[in-house]
Chains A and B, each alone.
Chain A
């Protein structure tokens, strides 16, 4: 099961990185970044998983729990991700109303 998760993490990160590198459309770049963020979140949770463990909520029946720390970190990371995305999209809307396009070919030289 862990390997399925690691595989998904690698694909999400790679697909996102590929999108950020190759796509010229700014909206697409931010969609790719969002996918990468999902991948990192999955990586953190997978690191905290312990085979046979249960959710770290005390209920008296189980002795073995998964690591709660990465879950707390991911809660933080998800909210940070949505904040950055919202700001980015409002910037893109403004940029679109000024430039008329979201493709960066000329004006944005790297």
Chain B
């Protein structure tokens, strides 16, 4: 089971890094994409946690549709913070 633990920690650090980058960057497009990446990484974590239904849904809705909506909205309102 050790390989699962290592993989889980790698994914957790990836998700954490993506989340922090999404909050801190000034470029809203990269911020939205980083948020999508965090969501995608979390969906892989759902697979590790034996939740395939949730993983599929999170990958398609959380990462796919949400990110598309964000990117469209940022395109209408301006890309840079401040």
Contacts and interface: CB of A to CB of B under 8 A. Distances in A.
Interface majority SS (helix, strand, loop, mixed), chain A: helix
A8 B16 contact: yes
Contacts of A41: 42, 54, 58, 62
Contacts of B57: 75, 78-79
Interface majority SS (helix, strand, loop, mixed), chain B: helix
A53 B19 contact: no
A60 B38 CA distance: 35
Contacts of A71: 51, 53-54
Interface of B: 1, 4-5, 8-9, 11-12, 15-16, 19-20, 22-23, 28, 31-32, 35, 38-39, 42, 45-46, 48-54, 57-58, 61-62, 65-66, 69-70, 72-74, 76-78, 81-82
Interface residues of A, number: 51
B38 A35 contact: yes
Given A4-B9, A5-B8, A82 B77 contact: no
Contacts of B39: 34, 38
A1 interface: yes
